[in-house]
Chains A and B, each alone.
Chain A
Amino acid sequence: MIKKVVLFSLISVSLLIGCSDDSDTTSSQTSTTVWEQKSQMLTNWVDNFIIPNYNNLSEKLSEIETLSTAFTSNPNQQSLELVRSAWIEAYKSWQYVEMFNVGPAEQSFYNLKMNIYPTTTEKIEALIASGEYASLDNSPYNSAQGFPALDYLLYGVASDDSSIIALYSSSPNYGSYLTEIINRMISNTNYVITEWDSYRERFISSVENTATSSANKMANDFIYYYEKGFRSNKIGIPIGVFSNGSQFPEKVEAYYNQNISGILALEAINAIKTFFDGNGSYSLKQFIDNFATDELANLSSDISAQFSLVQSNIEALDSNFANQINNGLNQINVTYDNIQTGTVMLKTDMLTVLQIATDYVDADGD
């Protein structure tokens, strides 16, 4: 009996597959298989976003290295301005990389070593004084390194530019620490880039729909970055969303610089937008378009529109978020609300379309 059932099933299935029209499929908008579409998406992500963006960051970090060497050997206003500019450019290109917490970056806790803010100045000062930097390998010292540490070292370490220059001239310890931080950022980034050479193949070939497959991890990371790295860290926490009536302007990104928190946020939303759209090739937008139910047919354009709205909100804010918080809290609150509307769309509507597998426990659609 069982043999009959199996045979019957195989025959019927083959007939059904053979006799069906390709134009009936949900994925037929591109008449490629789902597998092919996902492969395209993964390849696009790696070759047009992940690897080029890391390389771009690496170049910018080398710039900082060159100019910081020049600064520490000859501290003056001009060399200080130059190294600062290089830092700003690198920080901007960092925004295009922070969302990729997969593979080598995930394994090496890369993000945690590059951009934990606010930075803990006490730890930095302690390490500078001791001259011993081994602690930087340990996670409690994640907040004493990376871009936020450079922010402090280049802008916050003394009360004005001439004091900063004087400090670097008189205490070689500061220069050593500056060099150490930059070296670590470069080697951490190089590690990730090198590993991606071999990881690329693994990433692109993991096309199946399981909890740990590439597309699912990347989609989860994208959403997590939008909600945490972008929404909470840059704006939510500083405006006091989680803290009962208090604001924390000192917790904005690039606090000591006092000018570019808004600019960095603009780069970030641009990074988010272009990743979502795919920049001319297959990404989340196309996937949503191909697989959304009728009721969600406009989802991808709604999401893109929301991102654009957030972008224009941020453009209208003071580029120094600390100022904006102190002098115009309402406006940045509105920006936050618009970002949050986007979060809702990503975490309910988009997740419905993406159907990311999870493996918590058994489920019966309850």
Chain B
Amino acid sequence: MILKINNYLKRSTDSSKLAVFRICFGLMMLFSMVRFWSKDWIHTVYVLPKFHFKYYGFDWVQSLGPYTYVLFVICILCSILITIGMWYRLSIILFFLTFSYIELIEKTTYLNHYYFISLLSFLLIFLPANRSFSMDAFFSKKHYKEIPQWTVDCIKLLMLLVYFYAGLAKINSDWLLKALPLKIWLPSKYDIPLIGETLLQYEWVHYAMSWGGMLYDLIIPFLLLYRKTRGVGFALVLFFHAFTAILFPIGMFPYIMIISALIFFDGKTHEKIIALLKKIIHPLTSSFKKVTLETVTQFKYVRPKWILGTLVVFFLVQMAVPFRHVLYPSELFWAEEGYRFSWRVMLMEKIGYTNFKVVNKTTGNSFYVRNGDFLTDLQIKQMSFQPDMILEYAHYLGDHFKSQGHKNIGIYAESYVSLNGRSSQQFVDPEVDLLTQKESFRHKHWIKTFKDDIKGF
């Protein structure tokens, strides 16, 4: 067994695979950050709000106000450096830190694919992606033809985990047996040409897309892994992600997944891509003095055991985290305890309406808070159906009103949520003073029980 593992670790593969991945990753990130900036979302999400929702344990992450733009500039510069493979180790670490920091500032913009980018950039810190076709290789005058197979397999494993868990998450009674929430979303896309008024309105299509989506997620990593099915697999990748990009406002996610799927292809394909890229940038580089690079056959890690150890822990954590919801007695989709960081993508149509009552416990007088005085529209929308945000906001309100001189106050939430087309139900116990409740990993008993059952993973 140990022998087999050792032999596997000794296997090598074409270095162009990681080079292409690095270039694509850098360009995707560059485009993604610039797009975010161009839509003025830096302002509306990070600068405008007076209050930011933080992740548990990350309260110390400060919003930088207008200096958030500086963070984005750093991130963008790093993505350029990553693309050209210059000062790679530094730039990928810096990219990981700044990107993750940006995400940690505001919980209401949590997106699974931002989490994916953080994980991927963390992974890339440990991989030799700058050893060929990069400025680092150019300056060091060494070009490595081969890298350990396991470095490329790491990325494949991450992709497999994302897809597989996403597929697993779709095995639930709402998704498969009721075609929810697609049954709600697809008919509202009536303005898409050709299929909007036809296919998207048919109930059987809602079911077909639900089941198809689930099967796609579960099967696609395996189709991509094996050479014989790779072509079909990639065609499906193109089709599936292009289709979802047209249907839903999911931003960069489809394109990131399409480009990342290239990692599954063989060395020859990647060499062809590199050749193409060389042709494209030839006009730029032809003026450079020709430097001969020493071609070294294989890249070897200096201290492989540390790297491997870290990565093993990394993947074990990634495999375990999506299952943590089984530790909670609540309905997963309703109370969302253990919902994030599990690749549960596009599974819920959930709308909440949550108001907060501040009660003076001495006099019995009370007043309702106008959420618009404290939160942006996006924040209100997200807060109203996510209990951890309701709790955090309640404490923020408590601090605010206490600082204004109110004494001995309690804060109570009147909250109603509609989930996947069900009638709205009361979400939070209105008799519980949220100021007495603390955030923790423990179950929040003040979330009302869901009056239904959604079975699944």
Chain A residues in the interface with B (C-beta under 8 A): 1-2, 4-5, 9, 13, 16-17, 20, 24-28, 33-35, 38, 207-209, 240-245, 291-296, 299, 343-345, 347-349, 351-353, 355, 357-366
Q: A5-B239, A17-B198 are in contact. List 17 more A-B contacts (CB 8 A).
A: A1-B235, A17-B194, A33-B190, A209-B190, A244-B366, A245-B360, A293-B180, A344-B416, A347-B353, A348-B417, A348-B424, A352-B418, A361-B251, A362-B250, A364-B112, A365-B348, A366-B111
Q: Does B429 lie at the interface of the complex (its beta carbon under 8 Å from any beta carbon of A)?
A: no
Residues of A within 8 A of B295 (CB): none
Contact A242 B370 (CB under 8 A): yes
Q: Nearest chain-A residue to B353 (Cβ)? A: A347
Q: Nearest chain-A residue to B203 (Cβ)? A: A24
Residues of A within 8 A of B41 (CB): 361
Q: Nearest chain-A residue to B360 (Cβ)? A: A244
Q: Does B328 lie at the interface of the complex (its beta carbon under 8 Å from any beta carbon of A)?
A: no
Please measure, in the bound complex, the distance between the C-alpha atom of A70 and the C-alpha atom of B378, giving whole angstroms: 53
Contact A13 B188 (CB under 8 A): no
Residues of A within 8 A of B113 (CB): 364
A sample of 12 inter-chain contacts (CB < 8 A) reads: A24-B202, A34-B187, A34-B197, A209-B189, A209-B190, A291-B188, A293-B183, A293-B422, A345-B424, A349-B423, A355-B185, A364-B345
Q: Nearest chain-A residue to B370 (Cβ)? A: A242
Contact B190 A35 (CB under 8 A): yes
Q: Contact check: which of A4, A20, A207, A242 meets B367 at CB < 8 Å?
A: A242
Q: Nearest chain-B residue to A14 (Cβ)? A: B194
Contact B235 A26 (CB under 8 A): no
Contact B378 A361 (CB under 8 A): yes
Contact A344 B197 (CB under 8 A): no
Residues of A within 8 A of B202 (CB): 20, 24-25
- Report the number of A-B residue pairs with Cβ-Cβ less than 8 Å: 168
The answer to whether A26 and B423 touch (CB under 8 A), given A359-B249, A362-B250, is no
Residues of A within 8 A of B420 (CB): 293
Contact B344 A35 (CB under 8 A): no
B341 CB, nearest partner CB in chain A, Å: 11
Residues of B within 8 A of A26 (CB): 183, 187, 201, 203
Residues of A within 8 A of B194 (CB): 13, 17
Contact B201 A34 (CB under 8 A): yes
Q: Does B89 lie at the interface of the complex (its beta carbon under 8 Å from any beta carbon of A)?
A: no
- B residues 212-239 in Cβ contact with A at 8 Å: 231, 234-235, 238-239
- B residues 353-386 in Cβ contact with A at 8 Å: 353, 358, 360, 363-368, 370, 377-378, 381
Contact B199 A13 (CB under 8 A): yes
Contact B424 A363 (CB under 8 A): no
Please measure, in the bound complex, the distance between the C-alpha atom of A21 and the C-alpha atom of B423, giving whole angstroms: 30
Contact B191 A209 (CB under 8 A): yes
Contact B351 A348 (CB under 8 A): yes
Please measure, in the bound complex, the distance between the C-alpha atom of A5 and the C-alpha atom of B346, giving whole angstroms: 25
Most buried by A among B41, B249, B418, B424: B418
Please measure, in the bound complex, the distance between the C-alpha atom of A299 and the C-alpha atom of B351, giving whole angstroms: 15
Q: Does B308 lie at the interface of the complex (its beta carbon under 8 Å from any beta carbon of A)?
A: no
Q: Can you list, as one digit per residue, whether each of B270-294 has a CB less than 8 Å from chain A (1) or not (0)?
A: 0000000000000000000000000
Nearest 4 interchain pairs by C-beta: A245-B365, A362-B251, A293-B421, A355-B188
Contact A293 B351 (CB under 8 A): no
The answer to whether A242 and B424 touch (CB under 8 A), given A5-B239, A34-B190, A360-B381, is no
Please measure, in the bound complex, the distance between the C-alpha atom of A347 and the C-alpha atom of B353, giving whole angstroms: 7
Residues of A within 8 A of B198 (CB): 17, 20
Q: Does B184 lie at the interface of the complex (its beta carbon under 8 Å from any beta carbon of A)?
A: yes
Q: Can you list, as one digit per residue, whether each of B232-262 has a CB less than 8 Å from chain A (1) or not (0)?
A: 0011001100000000111111000000000
Residues of A within 8 A of B314 (CB): none
Most buried by B among A1, A28, A244, A245: A244
Q: Nearest chain-A residue to B426 (Cβ)? A: A344
Q: Nearest chain-A residue to B204 (Cβ)? A: A24
Q: Nearest chain-A residue to B418 (Cβ)? A: A348
- B residues 151-204 in Cβ contact with A at 8 Å: 180-181, 183-185, 187-191, 194-199, 201-204
Contact A27 B201 (CB under 8 A): yes
Q: Nearest chain-A residue to B348 (Cβ)? A: A365
Q: Nearest chain-B residue to A351 (Cβ)? A: B351
B239 CB, nearest partner CB in chain A, Å: 6
Residues of A within 8 A of B189 (CB): 209
Residues of A within 8 A of B187 (CB): 26-27, 34, 291, 355
Q: Nearest chain-B residue to A10 (Cβ)? A: B194
Residues of B within 8 A of A207 (CB): 191
Q: Nearest chain-B residue to A24 (Cβ)? A: B202
Q: Nearest chain-B residue to A244 (Cβ)? A: B367
Residues of A within 8 A of B351 (CB): 347-348, 351-352
Contact B418 A242 (CB under 8 A): no
Q: Nearest chain-A residue to B234 (Cβ)? A: A1
Please measure, in the bound complex, the distance between the C-alpha atom of A114 and the C-alpha atom of B181, giving whole angstroms: 42
Q: Nearest chain-A residue to B188 (Cβ)? A: A355
Q: Does B109 lie at the interface of the complex (its beta carbon under 8 Å from any beta carbon of A)?
A: yes
Please measure, in the bound complex, the distance between the C-alpha atom of A362 and the C-alpha atom of B345, giving whole angstroms: 13
The answer to whether A209 and B249 touch (CB under 8 A), given A34-B201, A245-B366, is no
Q: Nearest chain-A residue to B183 (Cβ)? A: A293
Please measure, in the bound complex, the distance between the C-alpha atom of A344 and the C-alpha atom of B425, giving whole angstroms: 10
Please measure, in the bound complex, the distance between the C-alpha atom of A363 and the C-alpha atom of B248, giving whole angstroms: 8
Residues of B within 8 A of A361 (CB): 41, 44-45, 109, 251, 378
Q: Does B110 lie at the interface of the complex (its beta carbon under 8 Å from any beta carbon of A)?
A: yes
Residues of B within 8 A of A2 (CB): 235, 238
Q: Contact check: which of B191, B204, B235, B346 meets A4 at CB < 8 Å?
A: B235
Please measure, in the bound complex, the distance between the C-alpha atom of A365 and the C-alpha atom of B253, giving whole angstroms: 13
B394 CB, nearest partner CB in chain A, Å: 17
Contact B197 A33 (CB under 8 A): yes
Please measure, in the bound complex, the distance between the C-alpha atom of A358 and the C-alpha atom of B378, giving whole angstroms: 10
B451 CB, nearest partner CB in chain A, Å: 11
Q: Does B325 lie at the interface of the complex (its beta carbon under 8 Å from any beta carbon of A)?
A: no
Contact B346 A364 (CB under 8 A): yes
Contact A296 B421 (CB under 8 A): yes
A189 CB, nearest partner CB in chain B, Å: 29
Q: Nearest chain-B residue to A207 (Cβ)? A: B191
Please measure, in the bound complex, the distance between the C-alpha atom of A352 and the C-alpha atom of B385, giving whole angstroms: 13
Residues of B within 8 A of A357 (CB): 188, 249
Residues of A within 8 A of B346 (CB): 364-365
Contact A352 B238 (CB under 8 A): no
Please measure, in the bound complex, the distance between the C-alpha atom of A244 and the C-alpha atom of B367, giving whole angstroms: 5
Q: Contact check: which of B205, B365, B424 meets A344 at CB < 8 Å?
A: B424
Please measure, in the bound complex, the distance between the C-alpha atom of A359 and the C-alpha atom of B421, giving whole angstroms: 21
Q: Does B349 lie at the interface of the complex (its beta carbon under 8 Å from any beta carbon of A)?
A: yes
B253 CB, nearest partner CB in chain A, Å: 7
Residues of B within 8 A of A366 (CB): 110-112, 339-340, 344-345, 348
Q: Does B347 lie at the interface of the complex (its beta carbon under 8 Å from any beta carbon of A)?
A: yes
